[in-house]
Amino acid sequence: PDDPTVLYGLGTLLRELGRFDETEAAFRKSLENGPEDPYPLNSLAWLLATAPDRRQRRPEEALELARRAVTEAPQAATNYNTLGVAEYRNGLWDRAIATLKKSIEMCNGTDPTDFFFLAMAQRQRGDREEAERSFGRGVDVAKKDAPAFWEWRMIWAEASELLGKPGPVPTLYEVKAEPDRAMDTLRRMAAAGSIQPEILRTNSDLAPLRTRRDFQLLVLDLTMPAGRFAP
């Protein structure tokens, strides 16, 4: 029960099940027994920077953990990815841009979250054209395998919102954690013309919302002919 490797593995499995509170507890217990292990350092930092429930995010702690992970394993691109994300969450735009570019170089541009967070950092710094290019590269990398990776879709959607671009619908974990926020996202997508009623009816991630009256009205509004309004 105190083996840090076993506890880290448990946390990883719990994360795949969407049991994020238990995931955090397992990673923290792993670090108690192996405080210099870069794997739980990085994984806990990532969770605290990107948890679907924003109330679970702790950007300052994520940054401290990510820095420690890079110190312990400077050869791992994933640690720089997490560090860049944590820097972004703390408003350190220039640092995030430099770190994410290093992560992209180290992993040969295979992680779309590097590009999406890079695009957001560039946009926050005011570099609109650079942000557009980075976002486009992220979409190119993500679109093939995004259905299999809910975190890619979650981060893609966040970048889409910031840059005013079409993006994927909220993930199941976001819908469960913050249903009102998910509805706000869907309404913005509908207003922009970037979502079809069939997606609302069939996408499995949106299933918890389908009993809501405002969701049903949104589907109805998108289904009705132009010029008519739902009651």
* Mean pLDDT, the chain, whole residue set: 94
- Give per-residue pLDDT as tens, 175-206: 999 999 999 999 999 999 999 999 999 999 99
pLDDT, residue 231, reads 46
Helix, strand or coil, per DSSP, at residue 51: coil
* Residue-by-residue DSSP string for 166-230: --PPPPHHHHHH-HHHHHHHHHHHHHTT---HHHHHH-GGGGGGTT-HHHHHHHHHHHSPTT---
Averaged pLDDT, 12-30: 96
Confidence of residue 146 (pLDDT cuts 50, 70, 90): low
Of 72, 25, 16, nearest to 44 by C-alpha is 25
pLDDT, residue 227, reads 44
What's the residue count for the chain?
A: 231
Q: Is-contact 66 117, C-beta < 8 A?
A: no
∠ at Cα 11 (88, 154), nearest 5°?
A: 40
Averaged pLDDT, 81-86: 98
Tell me what percent of the residues of the chain surpass a pLDDT of 70: 96
Averaged pLDDT, 89-104: 98
Confidence of residue 230 (pLDDT cuts 50, 70, 90): very low
pLDDT, residue 225, reads 63
| Residue 226 predicted with pLDDT over 80 | no
Residue 25: count of CB within 10 angstroms of its CB: 15
Alpha carbon 174 to its chain centroid, in Å, reads: 10
pLDDT, residue 55, reads 95
Confidence of residue 145 (pLDDT cuts 50, 70, 90): confident
| Residue 112 predicted with pLDDT over 90 | yes
Confidence of residue 126 (pLDDT cuts 50, 70, 90): very high
Of 54, 53, 56, nearest to 27 by C-alpha is 56
pLDDT, residue 98, reads 98
Distances (CA, A) of 16 to 13, 156, 227: 5, 19, 44
